[in-house]
Amino acid sequence: MPLIDLRSDTVTKPTPAMRRAMFEAEVGDDVYQEDPTVNRLEARAAEVLGKEAALFVPSGCMGNTIGIKLLTRHGEEVIAEARGHLLNYELSMAAWFSGCLVRPVAAPDGILTWDLIAPQVRPRGPHWAATGCIELENTHNMAGGTVYPQDVFDDVCDRAHAHGLPVHLDGARLFNAAAALGRPVSELCAKADTVMVCLSKGLGAPVGSMLAGPAALMDDARLYRKRLGGGMRQAGILAAAGLIALEQMPARMAEDHANARFLAEGLGALPGVRVLNPEPATNIVVFEAPEPARLSADLKARGVLINPISETALRAVTHYDVTREDCAQALAAVQEVVTPCRSH
């Protein structure tokens, strides 16, 4: 029985079109910037994101790491949302590579407003580390794939800039946000100085993310990528899938969002389950249930993979490898394990 894998949208396998493009990809040595397929992907990503230049990086973590490095100086602080990926899931790379402390700010639904950020902004001073940049996450993963209202996002960027602070956008799922808002992705990130988007999540590419921003910054980013071991040589094999991801996959994301809503509704109707985002805007459902670790193990035994994200909550993520039928089966499995042995 094939597994129904709702652990993350990182688990997607390349589509037949991606596999074909990878097979046929024209390649060269990308460290010499001679891989025509990588060059095409970088040019196209820059265009789609509305930035001067873009760089193909192996992972979202590396894209964020380089983005923070570009916008900060050693010893500064980065203001980020408390449940954000940068602070919690990147092995403290902001500290390790950029020498920066992340200053966490808790925000409802993971959506930072300038009012929440302002009290945490620190100028140069004799005792404290000055703020170097602001980092925003759109969609916000652990808050349940929440989407920044565009006016809030733009306002944070404008006010940050007025304070001389640049903004890095962790847009791992920015295409989901764009699909939810029905707006081009370039509009969503227009005011961010640097943006990272993942090709290997909802867009389905096997590997890779894009970092985009001003051309001069991307020249530096290329060197940081090399330092981090991200000089990928004949990476056109991977970039070929990335191009398909950019062109073909955004159009179908509404399907994933509808499946997430279906899951949230079904989960919400189960006794003992509390959905924390009952109307998911994108492809992530976060829900509380008794004994998440046991529940996850029992689901696995029934062919459904859903991971706990804390002592009290689990996260289910929809993507193109799970159908509506799979979601219905997953719901039936949750119902079985969350309310076991009713007859006893």
Show the binding pattern over residues 162-181: x = contacts ligand TLP (CB under 6 A), - = does not.
Answer: --------x-x---------
- Only segment of 53-61, 112-120, 126-134, 184-192 that touches ligand TLP (CB under 6 A): 53-61
Q: Is 194 in the site for ligand TLP (CB under 6 A)?
A: no
Taking CB under 6 A as the rule, does residue 8 contact ligand TLP? yes
User: Restricting to residues 123-152, which ones interact with ligand TLP according to CB under 6 A?
Assistant: 137, 141
Cis preceding linkage at 139, omega within 30: yes
59 binds ligand TLP per the rule CB under 6 A: yes
Backbone φ and ψ of 299, nearest 5° = -65, -40
Can you say how many angstroms the Cα of residue 199 is from the centroid of all Cα atoms in its chain?
Answer: 10
- Nearest alpha carbon to residue 310 among 147, 143, 176, 93: 143
Q: How far is the CB of 142 from ligand TLP (least distance, A)?
A: 8
Angle between helices 215-227 and 60-71 (to 10 degrees): 120
Distance of CA 21 to the CA centre of its chain: 24
Q: Which is nearer to ligand TLP, 89 or 114 (CB)?
A: 89
Question: Which region, left, alpha or beta, applies to residue 76 given φ > 0 means left and ψ of -120 to 50 means alpha?
Answer: beta
Helix (H) or strand (E) holding 54: strand 53-57
Point out which span in 26-34, 58-66, 215-223, 291-299 binds ligand TLP (CB under 6 A): 58-66
Write down the least CB distance from residue 11 to ligand TLP, Å: 8
Q: What are phi and psi of 161, to 5 degrees?
A: -60, -40
Among 133, 198, 314, 333, binds ligand TLP (CB under 6 A): 198
As separate numbers, helices (DSSP H) first and strands (DSSP E) second, the chain gives 14, 13
Which residues make up the interface to ligand TLP (CB under 6 A)? Answer: 8, 10, 59-61, 64, 85, 89, 137, 141, 170, 172, 198, 200, 209
